[in-house]
Amino acid sequence: MKKIVSLLVLVLILSCGGQKKIIETNPDANKPVAQTTEESISKSVLYSGSAVSKAISLEAIKSSLEYLASDELEGRNTGSKGIEKAAVFIENHFKANHIKPYFETYRDSFNIETIIGYNVVGYLEGNDPKLKNEFVILGAHYDHIGTAKAVNGDVIANGANDDASGTVAVLEWAKYFAKTKSNKRSVLFTLYAAEEMGLKGSEHLAERLKEKQMDLYTMINFEMIGVPRATTEIMAYMSGYEKSNLAEQLNVYGGSELIGFFPKAKEFNLFQRSDNYPFYNAFKVPAHAISTFDFTNFEYYHHVDDEADKMDFNHMTNFINKMVPALEGMINAPTKVIKMNNE
């Protein structure tokens, strides 16, 4: 059916001649999306066949998150035995799914005084001879704060929403793209330590990649996606919304309004408070955080009750799958459509 829709769109484009705009009607979208003819070819036709509504299973998401947010990992504080177990889990996931290390090993190590931290970085080379020299980074922080104020004798701050949820999303997308080989650009799947210490891990990696003169197209950080927003709100929001056209383009590629504007993001300084910010600083390219936590829908931030049983796995599965065609569109666009806005 998707192929038929794509062919109909192409026929309409070709038959419109000099017309500047068309309307693509997507059955999953709330409303039609107006696009220029040239944009429609690259966005609608090239990517509509890639949408996979159930590519990633709830069971896989739940299994990974329950381990990362388990008491065994002791809250994943940077420098702890618990975060070492999390790093090994991530490395094994990459190995099992044929994701290569970008550096000599998966670990990008750094020091914070006497503490040794390490980001875990997986690499999937693009399949286009030219576009593979450009990179997209998908990231999340896999550390948490370790312990918090005791509740009923429990002191382990498991960090299920913050940010095992984002970590699991990145791992599932890594598995998806490695299996489908549907990435024309190269992709780094990056999990950061020491976010809770002031973005130290992402800052180290951004500087290291800048020194390598990486041609970075876009960077997206996924932060706290384990709970849904109100049904009256757009599914997720993006920090620094006005700084680039990334949200707009992801919505076009995804075929519906997935990513919206959150008025309080600027008030709470969210753009500067997540692991996207060091990449924006280093590269001055679109680098944003996407979240479904909006300060009204989850009361256990840095709390011992931020546990796996508080996560909405149906929501997570829905969001992660809906993002697949959006990410494919961004990764495979023939030119760099996503750009910074004039500020």
Print the domain residue range for 44: 1-49
DSSP letters of 167-186? HHHHHHHHHHHHHH---SSE
**How many residues are present in the chain?**
343
Number of domains in the chain: 2
Residue 234 and residue 193 share a domain:
yes
**Residue 338 covered by a domain:** no
Nearest C-alpha neighbor of 245 from the set 195, 201, 285, 191: 285
**Residue 124 covered by a domain:** yes
DSSP letters of 242-298? GGBSHHHHHHHHHTS--EE--THHHHTTGGGGSTTHHHHHHH-S-EEEEES--SSS-
Residue type, 132: K
pTM of the model: 0.85
Per-residue model confidence (pLDDT) at position 161: 98
Bridge partner list, 189: 122, 138
Residue 271 and residue 122 share a domain:
yes
Per-residue model confidence (pLDDT) at position 54: 75
Bridge partner list, 260: 237
Residue 110 and residue 11 share a domain:
no
Per-residue model confidence (pLDDT) at position 342: 79
Residue 305 and residue 263 share a domain:
yes
| CB 216, CB 157: distance < 8 Å | no
140-160 as b/e, with b when 16 or more CB fall inside 10 Å?
Answer: bbbbbbbebeeeeeeebbbbb
**Residue 117 covered by a domain:** yes
Backbone angles phi, psi at 184, to 5 degrees: -80, -40
The domain that holds 263 is classified in CATH as: 3.40.630.10
Residue 135 and residue 1 share a domain:
no
Per-residue model confidence (pLDDT) at position 343: 55
Per-block average pLDDT, block size 10, for the chain (343 residues)? 39 34 33 38 38 79 98 98 98 98 98 97 98 98 98 98 98 98 98 98 98 98 98 97 98 97 95 98 98 97 98 98 98 97 76
Residue type, 104: E
Residue 30 and residue 177 share a domain:
no
Residue 258 CA to residue 30 CA, distance in Å, equals: 10
**Residue 65 covered by a domain:** yes
Residue 12 and residue 81 share a domain:
no
Residue 305 and residue 286 share a domain:
yes
Residue 39 and residue 93 share a domain:
no
Per-residue model confidence (pLDDT) at position 100: 98
Residue 268 and residue 222 share a domain:
yes
